[in-house]
């Protein structure tokens, strides 16, 4: 679980990152579902959003909702579960963590299911194919798709595409050329990277890396949703 915070510059271009977040956003608790496309978010300048990035499978375990029902959506937590009211005025980070703990205590997640979700996520990050991943985990391909859709919001192939896109983007923002980032992340070439990025993020890699300073995770590495 990773706590993150972002101070708005007024507009964010949110791109898919393969995770679900619990956020304190515009004075309400919101669950940010898994994205398959870029989303535009408008907030008041200097407005602060707090978030918790949940590990693979945790959102489904805590909320009792299949992740695919949240895909490409931002849903008020109150629409999914009922929790006691909590003040976020003095310590929003602490309040957000306490909400997470309340959810965890109430749900008492199945550890084996969380380990499976984490292992499937690692397989997607490693770029393993569906068949190999299914065999490695003792699942049929149909069962793998059912599990993946339930805990990630889409099939493992889509999750792998998003992880590869994020890895290439990270490499490019770390200083590699776009061609080097594409090759290292496993794209056929830079043109392949560009086509995939445009499909997922609605912008080219050059446009995303050029807008890097407005990405919230820059101020606190490994935090929260990816904005570009």
Query: Out of 8-17, 50-59, 95-104, 212-221, which region has the weakest mean confidence (pLDDT)?
Result: 212-221
Q: Tell me if 182 sits within 8 A of 20, measured CB to CB.
A: no
Tens digits of residue pLDDT in 167-198: 999 999 999 999 999 999 999 999 999 999 99
Does residue 221 carry a pLDDT above 70? Answer: no
In the chain, ranges of CATH 1.10.10.60 domains: 111-210
Report yes or no on whether pTM surpasses 0.95: no
Q: What's the pLDDT score for residue 108?
A: 93
Length of the chain: 228
- pLDDT in the model for residue 218: 34
Per residue in 107-156, pLDDT tens? 999 999 999 999 999 999 999 999 999 999 999 999 999 999 999 999 99
* pLDDT number for residue 46: 87
pLDDT at 83: 84
DSSP secondary structure, 113-160, as one string: HHHHHHHHHHHHHTT--HHHHHHHTT--HHHHHHHHHHHHSS-HHHHH
Q: Tell me the per-residue pLDDT of 202-220, one tens digit each, with 9 for 90 and over.
A: 999 999 987 554 334 333 3
The reported pLDDT for the residue numbered 211 is 57
Rounded CA-CA distance 205/197 in Å is 6
As a whole number, mean pLDDT of residues 93-108 equals: 95
- Domain 111-210: what homologous superfamily? Homeodomain-like (1.10.10.60)
Average pLDDT, the chain: 90
One-letter-per-residue 3-state SS of 42-86: ECCCCCEEEEEEECCCHHHHHHCCCHHHHCCCEEEHHHCCCCCCC
pLDDT bin (cut points 50, 70, 90) of residue 33 is very high
pLDDT band at 9 (very low <50, low <70, confident <90, very high): confident
Share in percent of the chain as helix, strand, coil (round to 5):
50, 15, 35
């Amino acid at each position: 679980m990773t706590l993150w915070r972002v101070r708005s510059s007024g507009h964010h271009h949110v791109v898919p990152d393969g995770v679900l977040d619990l956020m304190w956003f515009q004075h309400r608790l919101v669950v940010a579902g898994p994205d398959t496309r870029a989303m535009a978010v408008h907030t008041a300048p200097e407005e602060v959003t707090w978030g918790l990035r949940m590990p693979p499978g945790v959102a489904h375990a805590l909320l009792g909702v299949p992740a695919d029902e949240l895909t490409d959506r931002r849903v008020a937590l109150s629409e999914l579960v009922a929790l006691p009211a909590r003040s976020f005025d003095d310590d929003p980070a602490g309040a957000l963590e306490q909400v997470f703990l309340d959810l965890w205590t109430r749900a008492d997640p199945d550890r084996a299911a969380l380990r499976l979700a984490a292992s499937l996520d690692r397989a997607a990050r490693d770029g393993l194919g569906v068949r190999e991943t299914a065999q490695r985990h003792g699942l049929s391909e149909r069962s793998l798709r059912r599990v993946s859709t339930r805990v990630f919001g889409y099939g493992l192939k889509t999750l792998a595409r998003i992880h590869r896109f994020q890895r290439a983007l990270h490499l490019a923002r770390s200083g590699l050329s776009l061609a080097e980032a594409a090759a290292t992340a496993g794209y056929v070439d830079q043109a392949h990277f560009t086509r995939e990025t445009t499909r997922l993020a609605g912008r080219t890699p050059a446009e995303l890396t050029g807008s890097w300073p407005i990405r919230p995770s820059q101020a606190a590495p490994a935090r929260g949703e990816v904005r570009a």
